[in-house]
Amino acid sequence: MRIRIRHETTYRYAEPPRTAVQHLRLSPRNHDGQHVVDWRIDVDRDCRLVQSEDAFGNTLHRFSVDGPIESISTVVEGEVTTFDMTGVVSGAVERFPPILYMRETPLTTPSAAIGDFARETTSKESGTLAKLHALLGAIHESLTFDAAATHSATTAAECFEHRKGVCQDFSHLFIACARGIGAPARYVSGYFLSSDGDDQVAGHAWAEAYVEDLGWVGFDPTHGVAPQENHVRVAVALDYLGAAPIRGAHSGGAGETLDVKVRVARAAAFSQSQSQSQSQ
């Protein structure tokens, strides 16, 4: 499937900072399940955009700008062709052995309750893959999607306590459970083509877990499915922090507000919807 993506992020400041630095993980890479046809990044400030690869093999862009900075806007846009691999991720850049993805992080440390939940959910299943699928279903069932309930620093344990969250929280919980039953797991940030094709306020996130003999397998606990053709994989890490689309810091200034517009559509439909929105 050919998917076109446009993702615009704008930071505005009531009181302009003196300097700002940002790290962008906004560029997808190829693997057997996806091919990047074209992709570009624009930052609306004069700066040098330095490209490198981060620890996990993600493409990382860094820049620093001098103030006073009233706003910084970053736009990525491009086209990716995806193929249904029934969730199995092969041919991706791997920088570490799977065991590294057993590391606990503050966002994914399992509470006692999560440990119990993971054990109970998987006790009847045999085999890692079956256990992971049981977790996928159980997490999808037991959590309610609620954008107001959590924030970017919410931990898996906090989310599990309230049984509410967004895709980030669903994924963290899945990761905590998977690691808890001995399966290396990681966080994936990317894009999701929804059937309604509406503009979105954020990218998407899901998880991958390692299964002997199969390799890395994707699990999207928010939708309760394995990622297929409509998932575009951008970055992986131990948790959200390592894969966050944008991490930034600024010195001086105050009153930061964030505005995100994400459009994910079939390539054929994309230009049409764009022209419509322009004519409005």
Partner 1 sequence: MDSRITQFDELAGADGRTRAPYRKLSQWLAETPPELLASRREQAELLFRRIGITFAVYGAQEATERLIPFDILPRILARSEWATLEKGLIQRVAALNAFLADIYGAGEILRAGIVPADLVYRNPAYCPDMAGRRVPYDIYVHIAGVDIVRTDDQGFFVLEDNARTPSGVSYMLENREVMMRLFPELFALHRVAPIENYPDELLATLRSVAPPRANGDPTIVLMTPGQYNSAFYEHSFLADKLGVELVEGRDLFVRDDVVYMRTTEGPRRVDVIYRRIDDDFLDPLCFRPDSALGVAGLMGAYQAGNVTLANAVGAGAADDKAMYTYMPDIIRFYLGEAPLLQNVPTFRCREAEALTYVLDHLDELVVKEVNGSGGYGMLVGPHAAKAQIEEFRAKLKAHPQNFIAQPTLALSTCPIAMANGVAPRHVDLRPFVLQGANGARVVPGGLTRVAMTEKSLVVNSSQGGGTKDTWVIDDAWVGEEPMGQA
Footprint on this chain of partner 1 (rule: CB under 8 A): 19, 21, 23, 48, 50, 52, 54-56, 62, 64, 66, 95-97, 99-100, 102-103, 153, 238, 241, 247-251
**Other beta carbons within 10 Å of 274:** 14
Could you give the CA distance from residue 167 to residue 181 in angstroms, rounded to a whole number? 21
Q: Check: CB of residue 268 under 8 Å from CB of residue 3.
A: no
**With respect to partner 1, which residue has the nearer C-beta, 56 or 117?**
56
Q: Cβ closer to partner 1: 143 or 211?
A: 211
In DSSP terms, which residues pair with 246 in a beta bridge?
24
Closest CB to partner 1 among residues 2, 62 = 62
Of 9 and 82, which CB lies nearer to partner 1 in the complex structure?
9
Q: Which is nearer to partner 1, 96 or 145 (CB)?
A: 96
- For the bound state, the minimum distance from the C-beta of residue 62 to partner 1, rounded and expressed in Å, comes to 5
User: What's the min distance (Å) between Cβ of 224 and partner 1?
Assistant: 30
Q: How far is the CB of 193 from partner 1 (least distance, A)?
A: 30
Q: How far apart are CA 85 and CA 82, in angstroms?
A: 9
Please state whether the peptide bond connecting residue 68 to the residue before it is cis, i.e. omega within 30 degrees of 0: yes
CA–CA separation, 261 and 9 (whole Å): 7
Type of residue numbered 53: E
Whether the CB-CB separation of 254 and 14 falls below 8 Å is answered with yes
**Secondary structure percentages of the chain, helix, strand, coil, to 5:** 25, 40, 35
- Shortest gap between Cβ of 187 and partner 1 (angstroms)? 13
CB of 252 to partner 1, least distance (A): 10
